[in-house]
Amino acid sequence: MVAALLETTPANYTRCTAVCESNTELQGELIVTTESEPLPAPSPNPLRSIKGRVAVVTGAASGIGRATVHALRNEGALVGALDISFPADHASTATSSEANTDTLLRRRCDVSSETSVIEAVAAVRSHFGPIDIVVNNAGVSIATPIADPSFEDGWLRTLEVNLTGQTRLIRACLDDLLRNNDGRIVNIASTEALGGTGGMSAYTASKHGVAGLTRSLAVELGKSGVTVNAVCPGPINTGMTQGIPDENKAIFGRRATAVRRYGEPHEVADVIVSLTLPSATYITGAVVPVDGGMTARNQ
Ligand code: NAD
């Protein structure tokens, strides 16, 4: 039996003591607001903040990468935004709305080149300091029907960018990530890491590879405090899906997902940011669908 004792305090909230007479373990205190004046603001937990942490994001010019740069900067991180499509000398060609700032450094980087990745990371490090957060997001989606004469070209390019590229960025940042035993790595996979689509075997294999890379590195780096997780976006409105007519997207979103729609890049970016928090110490090796419930849905 539970008795609730209510008492209004001078601080304008009600102290409600719920006493379970038959189970002393359940005895406790619950504080509920009853008046317009809010409770005193809780003191911020620094472990839930990435303010001042240095992040690198690949594929940062578009879609999920661009949204992730935005979300990380919103939370106070200093971000090296890397993309193959940024001009080589971005500083002299950027418009004022894109210009590099105290919290953003844009730099051209091709993740299929080890030299390009090493140079880009060195530039971010010399601008902001050692790297704390790696977001491996750059990706290409190339149709690779198995009988196609160009299959092998598509296969090699896809693996090079989507999978090997991720190892290059991690290796270039590894000493930085290990230095305080709290580095964060988030690899972008796909629901193609959990199932497959016909005609896309290179992409599907690359994303299964990202899941494997994530799990193995999580185990390898677990003792160090560096966490490694993967995010698996479902169908998201980005450059990668812009060729699909809106009508087809609407039909697919309704039919395939639980939320009945395509997702937006910021909905993936917010999950990525959560995995980069200093407090996210006990999630590693996770392969997390961010797919509007697509993989949960049977019909
Ligand atoms: P996007 O095309 O909008 O962005 C991809 C970015 O990667 C582009 O800016 C491109 O210039 C960059 N890029 C490509 N090759 C590169 C290279 N060699 N080096 C550096 N940058 C390179 O697509 P997106 O949907 O935002 O893709 C981001 C990630 O999300 C990819 O890994 C993709 O596989 C994954 N993903 C997307 C979806 C989706 O529905 N959009 C679903 C699942 C997974």
Could you tell me whether strands 78-83 and 133-136 are parallel, antiparallel, or unpaired per DSSP bridges?
unpaired
Residue bearing tokens 């090079």: 160
**What kind of fold does domain 48-290 have according to CATH?**
Rossmann fold (3.40.50)
Predicted local confidence at residue 99, as pLDDT: 59
Q: Is the CB of 110 under 6 A from ligand 1?
A: yes
For residue 63 and ligand 1, the question of a CB distance below 6 A is answered with yes
Residue 267 contacts by C-beta under 8 Å, 6 or more apart in sequence? 236, 290
In the predicted model, residues of the chain with pLDDT beneath 50 are 1-34, 92-93, 96
Percent of the chain with pLDDT strictly greater than 70:
84
184 Cα–ligand 1 center, Å: 20
Dihedral sign (CA 50, 51, 54, 55): positive
Gyration radius from the chain CA atoms: 23
Q: What is the pLDDT of residue 9?
A: 37
Active site residue 203: yes
Q: Is the CB of 188 under 6 A from ligand 1?
A: yes
Structure tokens given for 37: 């004046």
| Domain residue spans of the chain | 2-33, 48-290
C-alpha distances in angstroms, 252 versus 101, 201, 223, 264, 299?
40, 20, 42, 15, 13
CB distance 183 to 229 below 8 Å? no
Question: What's the confidence (pLDDT) of residue 23?
Answer: 41
Model confidence pLDDT, tens digit, residues 209-248: 999 999 999 999 999 999 999 999 999 999 999 999 999 9
Asked whether 240 lines ligand 1 (CB < 6 A), one says: yes
Q: Quick one: pLDDT at residue 40?
A: 74
Give the C-alpha separation, 124 to 241, whole Å: 30
236 pocket-lining for ligand 1 (C-beta < 6 Å): yes
User: Which of 56, 57, 58, 64 to probe ligand 1 with, by most ligand atoms within 8 A of CB?
Assistant: 64
Strand partners, 152: none
Q: Which atom of ligand 1 is nearest to the CA of 239?
A: 3
What DSSP line would sit under 184-198, residue for residue? EEEEE--GGGTS--T
Q: How far is the CA of 240 from the centre of ligand 1 (A)?
A: 6
Task: Report which ligand 1 atom has the smallest distance to the Cα of 113.
Answer: 18
The dihedral built from the CA positions of residue 195, 201, 202 and 203, taken in this order, carries a sign that is negative
Pocket probe for ligand 1: among 160, 240, 262, the residue whose CB has the most ligand atoms within 8 Å is 240
Q: How far is CA 254 from CA 155, 211, 251, 261, in A?
A: 31, 27, 5, 5
pLDDT of residue 35: 52
Q: How many residues does the chain have?
A: 299
Q: pTM of the full predicted structure?
A: 0.87
Span from the CA of 181 to the centroid of ligand 1 (angstroms): 29
Ligand 1 site, residue 84, Cβ cutoff 6 A: yes
